[in-house]
Structure 1
Amino acid sequence: MRNILFLLILLFTFSTSFSQSYTFKTVIDLETTDVISQGNTGTCWSFSTSSFLESEIMRMTGKNIDISEMFQVRHTYPKKAWNYVMRQGKAQFSEGGLAHDVMNSIKDYGLVPQSVYSGLDMDANGHNHAEMVAVLKGMLDVYIDNPGRSLSPKWQAVVNGTLDTYLGKAISKFSYEGVEYTPKSFQAMTKINPDNYVSITSFTHQPFYSNFILNLPDNFSNGSFHNVKLDELMGTINNALENGFTVELDCDVSEKTFSAKHGIAVIPENDDTAAEAIISVRPEKKITPEYRQQEFENYATTDDHLMHITGMLKDQNGTIYYKVKNSWGNDENRVANAGYIYMSEAFMRLKTISVMVHKDALTKDLKKKLNL
């Protein structure tokens, strides 16, 4: 009888510990810039990577600089257009991209502050690229169809003219805090070197510690990723945060249990508890490499959204969560946690497509395995 009573108490304690409202304790909280909104655009790849680089600039120089997201967008669209035209329309032309597209743009064109290139019309208070993208794609399709029976040499000039109209002409010289810069000299001042950053992923369809092109719709530039074991991917995130490095994140946000409104992202053990899991603690699934691969191959995990990991928390049961900076603004009527998502370890293990970190954020052992 005593044993039965003890077992009932134990079961009650276990069940109630997973039905409480979330309570979080901050473990790591690294410096970053304010949460802003990407507006009505699909440019999370530039907003998140720019936020990541702003934290890197703080880490390396101590300077708080708001860098222009649209400068990189402006220089990436011609590359997207070239890919689309040269593949004769048999490729995706959309607003999406990946973190390495920002790095490629910086390598070619440098960096500028937001104050000198906003990508906004004078009277606009937010970004909306729907019309611009429709116009661009419509023109490209006309050139691809070859009404003149050959591809006109004017198409690239027309693309650039359209981008200039909607986003503004790319600048070559500007003044910032009383100093004259070019985009490349400004980049040098920030100490951002694109060659110092690596993209890490974890999938079983490619050999571990190999470098391969991840087949994603938005990977128009055929960027390559270092493939590591799942525990090593998570270890990379943890090691980075513990040593003062923030992390760029590409992940899936299509789950019902990813909620910007509640500021929570979890993977409940029981799918039927999705509604409860975003407001109260529930047991979560154990995520194995095999399950992760299965969800990727059946399209349950897709390349949806890029964000910026800036810290770590624990809930009342000691479960690890990651503090993830979003780019959907900080309106408290629409988002919780001032625009941050608290993402559980299970969600991160399952739904992460890739991360980008500074090479110095990797462990010595992983650097050796990757020949970095």
Structure 2
Amino acid sequence: MKNSLIIVILIFVSFTCNSQSYEFETVIDLETTDVISQGNTGTCWSFSASSFLESEIMRITGKNIDLSEMYTVRNTYPKKAWNYIMRQGKAQFSEGGLAHDVINSVADHGLVPNVVYPGLETHTTRHNHAEMIAVLKGMLDVYIKNPGRQLSPKWKLVTESVLDIYLGKNISTFNYEDVQYTPESFLKMTKINPKDYISITSFSHQPFNTNFILNIPDNFSNGSFLNVKLNDLVDITNNALKAGYTVELDCDVSEKTFSSKHGLAVIPKDDINKKEALENVRPEKEITQNLRQQEFENYNTTDDHLMHITGMLKDQNGTTYYKVKNSWGKNSDRVANDGYIYMSESYFKLKTISIMVHKDVVPKKLLN
């Protein structure tokens, strides 16, 4: 009994002595716009990809422009509605989407600044789409049920009217900094070329170095992804940041060790005390392609949330972390690091669904 007590004390002392609070050193910190909140919406895909494009505009032109997330959302919902109607309700109709939906919208409808299209109802300062999505889905379901035995041609017009009421009418011309623009001419001014951006993933159920449609719920537009090996996914991300390019990120945030309150995302080797891993540096799991695939196929890794990687850090042990810009605001006791998440490379390797980068940072040998 005495020996057992001594062993327990030694283990506790060893654990206590080895516990280290996180200390981070910035390695790369790329230019980006302020952290803002997506409010009570599921439109992280538009907020993150818009932030990504804002950094691209800074990199290319030096201009700091706050893009309208809701202009993209406004022009994406009709496509979601079409998909839902044509699949007769046997598809997801929700607030979710992916980064390529923003790129598709930019290609089709251009860009506008947030100041001319905030997408907020009168007298409101926070986005809330709960009522709008309920109205849209309920309305589309009525049309799908075919009370008149055929699909009413009015459904498109009614959908547009609902979007006009909740988000605002689409705009064709506007004034920005004393210059008259259309969404297309504004896009041209930013020098963003939608064809320059590529979505990349890493899953072994499809051949590597080929493109395939990733079957996840929010991929309503059947976007195609370049499939690369896990090490290549990490290398592309690291090399992009080192070259001055930020990275769009789609990942799983359902882990207990993803915490906006702590501003941290890690994958501890020991699953027993996950809270400890958010407060003190702990060893992390070795992430393999097989483990990543297993977590995806058993639904432990899902397409929860999109964010924006803007930099890189290291802790006191030399472990790599990504500086990830979130869209949950920054002035809250539930948000640390001014709205950023410090994501370990292990978390990134295990929980990333996909990234989006400028094609110039992708090795030509990986492109078809």
TM-score when scaled to structure 2? 0.96
Question: How far 1:135 sits from its partner (Å)?
Answer: 0.2
Q: Residues 149-174 of structure 1: CA distance to partner in whole angstroms, max 9, x if unpaired?
A: 11000000000000000000010000
1:167 aligned to 2:164?
no
Kindly provide the amino acid, as one letter, of the partner of residue 128 in structure 1: N
Residues 1:184 and 1:18: Cα distance change in structure 2 (over 3 Å)? farther
Question: How far 1:369 sits from its partner (Å)?
Answer: 2.6
Residue 341 of structure 2: aligned partner:
341
Residue 77 of structure 1: aligned partner:
77
Residue 328 of structure 1: aligned partner:
328
Q: Residues 172-216 of structure 1: CA distance to partner in whole angstroms, max 9, x if unpaired?
A: 000000100000000000011110000010000000001000000
SS state at 2:272 partner = helix
CA distance, structure 1, for counterparts of residue 14 and residue 220 of structure 2: 48
- Please, which runs of 5 or more residues in structure 2 have no aligned partner? 1-10
Kindly provide the amino acid, as one letter, of the partner of residue 157 in structure 2: A
Paired residues of 2:228 and 2:366 also in contact (CA < 8 A): no
CA distance, structure 2, for counterparts of residue 64 and residue 310 of structure 1: 15
The percentage of aligned residue pairs carrying the same residue is 74
Residue 366 of structure 2: aligned partner:
369
Residues 1:18 and 1:122: Cα distance change in structure 2 (over 3 Å)? farther
Residue 153 of structure 1: aligned partner:
153
Q: How does 1:218-367 map to 2 (within 5 A)?
A: 218-362=218-362, 366-367=363-364
Residue 6 of structure 1: aligned partner:
none
Kindly provide the amino acid, as one letter, of the partner of residue 59 in structure 1: R
Question: How far 1:240 sits from its partner (Å)?
Answer: 0.3
Question: How far 1:86 sits from its partner (Å)?
Answer: 0.1
Residues 1:18 and 1:281: Cα distance change in structure 2 (over 3 Å)? farther
Kindly provide the amino acid, as one letter, of the partner of residue 312 in structure 1: M
Question: How far 1:321 sits from its partner (Å)?
Answer: 0.4
1:177 aligned to 2:177?
yes
Residue 3 of structure 1: aligned partner:
none
- Where does structure 1 differ by over 4 angstroms across 4 or more consecutive aligned residues? 11-18
CA distance, structure 2, for counterparts of residue 144 and residue 126 of structure 1: 32
Kindly provide the amino acid, as one letter, of the partner of residue 296 in structure 1: F
SS state at 1:119 partner = coil
CA distance, structure 2, for counterparts of residue 259 and residue 334 of structure 1: 9
Paired residues of 1:266 and 1:343 also in contact (CA < 8 A): yes
CA distance, structure 1, for counterparts of residue 345 and residue 107 of structure 2: 33
Residue 45 of structure 2: aligned partner:
45
Paired residues of 1:199 and 1:355 also in contact (CA < 8 A): yes
Q: Residues 14-33 of structure 1: CA distance to partner in whole angstroms, max 9, x if unpaired?
A: 96685211000000000000
Paired residues of 1:45 and 1:98 also in contact (CA < 8 A): yes
Question: How far 1:121 sits from its partner (Å)?
Answer: 1.6
Question: How far 1:53 sits from its partner (Å)?
Answer: 0.3
Paired residues of 1:18 and 1:283 also in contact (CA < 8 A): no
CA RMSD, aligned part only? 1.3
CA distance, structure 1, for counterparts of residue 356 and residue 251 of structure 2: 12
Q: Residues 1-42 of structure 1: CA distance to partner in whole angstroms, max 9, x if unpaired?
A: xxxxxxxxxx99996685211000000000000000000000
Paired residues of 1:18 and 1:280 also in contact (CA < 8 A): no
Question: How far 1:298 sits from its partner (Å)?
Answer: 0.1
1:120 aligned to 2:117?
no
Residues 1:35 and 1:18: Cα distance change in structure 2 (over 3 Å)? farther
Question: How far 1:300 sits from its partner (Å)?
Answer: 0.3
- Please, which runs of 5 or more residues in structure 1 have no aligned partner? 1-10
Residue 7 of structure 1: aligned partner:
none
CA distance, structure 2, for counterparts of residue 17 and residue 57 of structure 1: 47
Residue 86 of structure 1: aligned partner:
86
Aligned residues: 358
SS state at 1:111 partner = coil
